[in-house]
Structure formats: structure tokens, C-alpha cells
Amino acid sequence: MRRDTSWKMRLAAVSLTTVTALALTGCGGAKVGDSTASGSGSGSCGTFNVAINPWVGYEANAAVIAYVAETELKCKVTKKDLKEEIAWQGFGTGEVDAIVENWGHDDLKKKYIEDQKTAVSAGSTSVEGVIGWYVPPWMAAQYPDITDSKNLNKYASLFKTSESGGKGQLLDGDPSFVTNDEALVKNLGLNYKVVYAGSEPALIQAFRQAEAKKTPLIGYFYDPQWFLSEVKLVKVNLPAYTAGCDADAEKVACDYPKYDLDKIVSKKFADANGPAYQLVKNFTWSNADQNLVAKYIAQDKMSPEAAAKKWVEANQDKVKAWLPKS
């Protein structure tokens, strides 16, 4: 979820000449740097190349869009598992047509939309994103004032781990996710160290175990996320966000803003105005819709295709509104 250089992104800048070595193989065996190009698939839709970023909420968006593109528009969909910044690099080559859940990334928008002009916005998904620090419910009940960041230092010793170097551990997820947490710890004068769980599933499992075993944990989390219906994590109140308080990534001392999660597509893809582009542009749904499909995938262990099929069959009216108008 979620993530750019102005947000202390952990990915180094990578040129497209090295992307092949860094990209993960996608669901269709594709990766940035392959020779697949849009417009060569079956039917009038052609090939539709969708980036898959590494969190299940994004995967839910992509699964439903891909299922509708394949079944309704007869597109040949290629899914490419890519970290966020790397996916943006594919717009200029036609190797990536769409990113279907973008969290902010003002620096990437400037680079690829304003400067390089290889990408354009395809509008909001209508999903609102929230990032913050959370504790398991048992901790909020036992230590009510822990939800005020001003009180965190007095609880730091509770969160010490073998990885936190004598300080309290603040657990983050995938290093590529949008995070201001190291700057926040420093600028708020907190006796904590950011430690990375490494992935969304690892972060979820840590919170699940902390609640079940009543062990201390404070960490980065976000909504929409299906896991919040299983364990109702309690958000810590950081200093209130105000416009511009996060402008300098090194000096951030405020909470995260609320994000209007949007879709970004290649300019070439948008200019062609084909059926797949119109589907992406028209696609909107709710936090609850995303969480339900994400739950099917992550908790119920359904394949993304099966999860999408189940949701689509139950929500035909919403799907019809996304289809290109004949």
C-alpha cells in the first residue's frame, strides 16, 4: 500500500534497464522489461497490462477489474507483480497500462505525469485510505492513554525486542510501503526504533498474535484492510495533520493525511480510449467492497479469480455501470 520517495520510500531509484532483474514474475509470467505490448490480444480490447502492487486490497481491485475485462470485454489480461515505483516506470514503454490503487505519490505524479508525460490520472476509486499507528485492542483497554502519542515514551520499555536495540519497537510492514515513521520517531522525540516485518501478511500475523497472546505491539497499519473486521485495532493519535506538514519528508512531525485512492494509467493507454481504459476509468467501489474481496483472498483462501467472480456475480448493477457505453 502505499508509497513514494517523499514518504520515505525504501526503494532505490531504478532505471528501466535494470527493472527486469528487480521485478517479480507476474501472474501471467510477465515482468517489466518483457516484450508484451498493449493492443495485441484477442478481440477488440487487446492486451491489458495491469500492475499488481504488494498488498491484498490492491489485489482485490485488480482481480475484479481483470475478471470483468476478461469476461465482459474479452481482453487478454496480463498481471505483473511490481513494487510501486517500478510499476510507474513501465508507463513510458507500454509495459504497464494501469495502476489501480495509488496512495498519494505526489513526487511520482510530478515525475511521470507532469514532467515525463507518460502517465495520467484515471480518477478516484472512491476508496478512502488511512495510514497510522495502531495497538491491539487489549492494550488500548489496559493502557487507555497509550493512544495519545505524547504518552508513548513512558510505554517504550513494553515494546523492546531483540531487534529494537534497547528502544521500543515500532513495527512497519513492507519496506516499500508509504511510511513517514522513521522521521516521526525522530521528530517527535520518541524512544523507539522502526523495525520492518517485511510484508503485509507478516504485519497482520504480528497483530493477530499480539491480541491473542496479550503481548505488547505497536505498529503501522492502514484502512481499507479486511483484517480490521477480525481484530479491531485501535489507532494512536499522532499530532493532527495539516496541509503541508509533510512537505519535507525529513521534518515530518504530524499524522498521515487521508488519501483519496486513485487510478493511474499510461498516457498512451488513455489516449487510445479502448474498452479496458474505459473500464478502469469507470471503476469505483467502496471500502467495504474492497475489504470483502480482500477477505475472500486472504482469509478464505480463494484465488483472486474466484474471489472476483463471487463478488461480480453478487454486484451486477455496480459492474454494469463500469462497462463502456455502446
- Where helices occur in 44-132 by DSSP H, the ranges are 56-71, 84-89, 106-109
Mean per-residue pLDDT for 65-84? 95
The answer to whether residues 76 and 13 belong to one domain is yes
The answer to whether residues 181 and 197 belong to one domain is yes
User: In the prediction, which pLDDT does 1 show?
Assistant: 56
Any domain includes 297:
yes
User: In the prediction, which pLDDT does 84 show?
Assistant: 85
Categorize the per-residue pLDDT at 85 as very low, low, confident or very high, splitting at 50, 70 and 90.
confident
The answer to whether residues 117 and 138 belong to one domain is no
229, 251, 273 — which closes off a domain?
Answer: 251
The answer to whether residues 119 and 9 belong to one domain is yes
Mean per-residue pLDDT for 16-39? 38
CATH of the domain at 49: 3.40.190.10
Any domain includes 280:
yes
Summarised one tens digit per residue, pLDDT across range 173-229 is 988 887 999 999 999 999 999 999 999 999 999 999 999 999 999 999 999 999 998
Mean per-residue pLDDT for 68-80? 96
251, 279, 313 — which closes off a domain?
Answer: 251
The answer to whether residues 229 and 197 belong to one domain is yes
* DSSP labels, 248-317: SGGG--SPPPPEEEEEEEEHHHHHHT-HHHHHHHH----HHHHHHHHHHHHTS---HHHHHHHHHHH-HH
pLDDT of 270 strictly over 70: yes
The answer to whether residues 161 and 123 belong to one domain is no
Question: SS3 for 183-251, per residue?
Answer: HHHHHCCCCEEEEECCCHHHHHHHHHHHHHHCCCCCEEEEECCHHHHCCCCEECECCCCCCCCCCCHHH
Summarised one tens digit per residue, pLDDT across range 136-168 is 999 999 999 999 999 999 999 999 999 999 999
Mean pLDDT check: name the lowest of 62-66, 226-230, 267-271: 226-230
CATH of the domain at 205: 3.40.190.100
pTM exceeds 0.75, yes or no: yes
Any domain includes 256:
no
As for how many domains the chain has, the answer is 2
- The average confidence (pLDDT) of the chain is 88
The answer to whether residues 112 and 139 belong to one domain is no
The answer to whether residues 97 and 123 belong to one domain is yes
Range of the domain at 141: 130-251
The answer to whether residues 120 and 52 belong to one domain is yes
User: In the prediction, which pLDDT does 325 show?
Assistant: 85
The answer to whether residues 154 and 119 belong to one domain is no
The answer to whether residues 137 and 247 belong to one domain is yes
The answer to whether residues 93 and 159 belong to one domain is no
Any domain includes 187:
yes
What is the share, in percent, of the chain residues with pLDDT greater than 90?
79
